[in-house]
Chains A and B, each alone.
Chain A
Amino acid sequence: MKKMTLTLVLTVLTLSLFSQDYNRAMLDGIDSLNHIKKMEDFQQVANYFERIADAEPNEWLPGYYAAYCYIVLSFREQDAAKKATIVNKGENLVNKILKIKSEESEIYALQGMLYQAFITLDYQNNATEYSMKAEASFDKAIELNPENPRSYYLKGMNLMYTPEAYGGGMKAACPLITRANELFENFTKANDLMPDWGKDYNAQLLKKCGGE
């Protein structure tokens, strides 16, 4: 009996230790992500989250942050071949976390951003197809959680950089940026580990809207 109790207590303790570890590790990672200064650091932070993702196959957030890092990295990469590899990596990660959690607004918002990365790979060939794909992802993200500011922010940004001929432009984009701003102001995370980015950049976009 005693033995059993010991085992039980140990198991519970180890589990809680692990989960504490997970929370701690994630918070550390999010903290480094929020304080990135150089482009190369995105790779480091991505690696960090991938290690956690590998160890925690049932958690979607480590993969989410890793994918986010790669997508941001891809926007800044100049070498076309490298850029393509990075975008592919981002795509693999997004597909992977969609298998862990299929109905998550944040993942679809990120997927929309991933499709924007595809457009930058080859504007002429990918623009039409991937704009539509991005649009569909943002709409799905809004459907799953109408309060998620990132869906509106990213959708608005997508429209802002889409030529008017394709239904983009300021006129179409600004209402979404404004809506995102309202949601950002009132946004409270469901827990500490949930995504909470985009507010500052959205504010910059909002200024552009005001300037029009």
Chain B
Amino acid sequence: MKILIIILLLLPTSHLAAQVTISGTVKDEYQNPLTGANIYLKGTYSGVTSDTSGHFSFTTTRRDTVVMVVAFIGYETIEKTIIPDKKNITLEFSMAEVSNELQQVVISAGTFEAGDKKRAVMLSSLDIVTTANAEGDIYGALNMLPGAQTEGETGKIIVRGGESREMKTFMDGMLVSSPYTSRMPDIPARGRFSPFLFNGVLFSTGGYSAEYGQALSSVLELTSDGLAEESVTSISLLNVGAGLGHTHRFKNSSFTLETDYGNLTPYFAMTKHTLDWEKVPESISGQLRFRAKAGEEGMFKSFLSYSGSRSILNYNNYNTGNTERIALGDKNLYQSNTYSTMLGEKWLLKAGAAVNFTNEDYNINRNDKLEDNLKSAHIRLALQYYLNKDITFKSGIEDFYTENEKTYRNNYMTDVFKLKFADNLLAGFAEADIRLSSKAALRTGARMEYSGYTGKTNIAPRASLAYKISKGQQVSLAFGRFYQHAGNEFLLNSDSLAYENATHFIFNYQYAGSNRLFRIEAYLKEYDHLIKYGNQDNYIYSHLTNDGNGYARGVDIFWRDKQTFRQADYWVSYSYLDTKREYRDFQVKATPVFASKHNLSVVWKQWISKINSQVGATYKYRSGRPYYNPNNEDFLSDKTKPFNDISINVSYLTQLFGNFTIVYFSCENIFGFNNIFGYNYEAEPDASGIFRSHPIQPFAKRTFIAAIFISIK
């Protein structure tokens, strides 16, 4: 009885306890009121939502110490301990935006990040596939981004006045040593791997993280797909080949087997071209992909790819004045395994191992035989430590093994020469990502490398700083030192060459609005220790030194808009490039043949729901490129006429026998602009003492791709 009384006495008292009113306002860092924030006392149901002026007010009967919580999506939650000992409590809160959210300050100088599905504005890997003039090639699509140009005759990407070898490609952190297919003279190469393999693409045109080394100009980091969603069989039929693939999804793993056969006969039949094929390129390739969840947070990925191709071309070599019969054989095997997992809450471990074997075999006139064998391996272990929400440390060690052998033989003599080198490059890096405030972020680190072959060591410091001016607007600065081995052809000739190096300075302004992005980036890149040589005879170079140098500077502008036009997406990019270098056999500083001063790209994509199709068009303009003219004493002072290209594509989505089907068609250079990449000159002058020239041109004015992709579930 007594007890009951006590209880009954107790209960009303708590209800009758004096009420305390808690009120105030919630604002963001820029003093704008925040509507919809959740303000409450932790562990209780009492609380309220802030109104349109950011104001809130609620009452509580609690008299003891309580934790007040202010929470709002996209902002850091605030917790504040209060003692409701007065009748009225007034509080002001200023909320900071959550790190890594769209509006947060992020290091952005030099990089184009794509594929994060939660971000609406950047580029995605599908954007790459649907870019009209890319012909489904990753490198073809990068060509439409600021700072990048494709060297038309090789199909390779050059970034901000750097040679194509100054860009390195990584897949899930592992080096892809032979990212392009082998190629015939004056015929463009393609990327070895299909863009369909990746869901993330990070394209950096400078100032990149200390995680990456051995690249003077650019890094392309591809993130491969995770676990396949479901089992599916895919069939593709193209005018360049056919493919068959099957994916099987198990509970915690998936397995994909794909095989492709390529034959360019129908492609060349559809195209008016200038090539004299004895054997049109024919290729076979296969891929195995295995993905498995490892524990709660871990992922294991294994990738095996094999490709082989053969072709024979009768090539007009103006240098020798003869038509040469070139037989090319290309074999590549790439295998990589990666594993990543969280270790507890704070540590992220990433480990990987990859090997690559490439064999290229050129047989000229059934007589001279040039063989190039590349073996490489990459082992990597990296750790990330999340100290707190503002500071992350990253460090790792890696080893790159490279073995290259070039052999030249002919029918009359055995081994005319054989050159070979093997290098073990050991590297370590450490980097910190620090959020200085909600408006400023700093990334700083360094990388160290030691080459067993040359015995040389380098230390490369890197730093970037980003500052947010207002919502959506930010400026960034980046500085970095980059080292790269001399090209394999030089390493084969000498084991004492120093690293070539480049120093980047970048300033970037970016505006990211809802579905719109504008950025402008100015850069200066200073090259030093570039390779110079006296003479070249096949693979033999004389008087090799590191005395070369050069610079590249310019401005890149990018505008993308997915908002203004209904179901349309377009971007425009413009690059200005001023570059000169003295390297290789140059006697004076000159602009190299691959660099054009003005580059403009426009990409348009339109979804038309009525006909279930996406249509796209691209326009590319490049000002003239310098070329070497033996008739002109002024070195590399002649320029080709500007390059123009308009390409279109259509993807039609439909069903074939109840299976999801895409019908695809594209045409490159639909208006047939007469483009010239440069000139080949005859080795001997004619009777009047003039070296006769022959333009290097695309092998066809227009090229067509037609394809059908079918998915069977």
Contacts and interface: CB of A to CB of B under 8 A. Distances in A.
A200 interface: no
B229 interface: yes
Contacts, number: 112
A132 B711 CA distance: 13
A25 B47 CA distance: 12
A160 interface: no
Given A80-B121, A85-B102, A165-B653, A132 B43 contact: no
Q: Which of B38, B40, B42, B71 has its CB near the most chain A CB atoms (within 10 A)? A: B38
B514 A43 contact: no
Tell which of B36, B103, B230 has the most Cβ of chain A within 10 Å.
B36
Interface string A1-20: 01001100110010000000
A164 B42 CA distance: 49
Interface in A119-165: 121-126, 129, 132-133, 136, 163-165
Interface string B488-520: 000000000000000000000000111100000
Contact of A47 (B47, B117, B118, B513): B47
A165 B102 contact: no
A10 B4 CA distance: 10
Contacts of A70: 73
A163 B514 contact: no
B612 A85 contact: no
A6 B124 contact: no
Given A55-B43, A124-B607, A129 B120 contact: no
B661 interface: yes
A43 B48 CA distance: 11
Interface string A64-95: 00000010000000011111111111000000
Tell me whether chain B's interface is mostly helix, strand or loop, or mixed: loop
Interface residues of B, number: 50
Contacts of B38: 47, 50-51
A52 interface: yes
B159 to A, nearest CB: 25
B655 interface: yes
Given A47-B36, A47-B49, A81-B102, A165 B607 contact: no
A103 interface: no
Contacts of B687: none
B517 to A, nearest CB: 11
Contacts of B42: 54-55
B538 interface: no
Contacts of B117: 118, 121-122, 125-126, 129
Interface in A4-42: 5-6, 9-10, 13, 21, 25, 40
Contacts of A54: 40, 42-43, 69
B711 to A, nearest CB: 9
Interface string B635-676: 000000000000000000111001011000000000000000
Contacts of B36: 40, 43-44, 47
A132 B118 CA distance: 17
A80 B120 contact: yes
A125 B69 CA distance: 37
The 6 A-B pairs with the shortest beta carbon distances in the complex, nearest first, are A47-B38, A43-B36, A80-B120, A85-B74, A165-B653, A132-B229
24 contacts: A2-B2, A6-B6, A40-B35, A43-B35, A43-B36, A48-B49, A51-B44, A51-B47, A54-B43, A55-B44, A81-B102, A84-B118, A84-B119, A85-B102, A88-B73, A122-B120, A122-B124, A125-B117, A129-B117, A132-B229, A163-B612, A163-B653, A165-B653, A166-B653
Given A51-B38, A136-B229, 15 more contacts: A6-B3, A10-B7, A44-B36, A47-B36, A48-B49, A50-B38, A50-B71, A79-B514, A80-B514, A81-B103, A87-B118, A124-B607, A129-B117, A132-B229, A165-B660
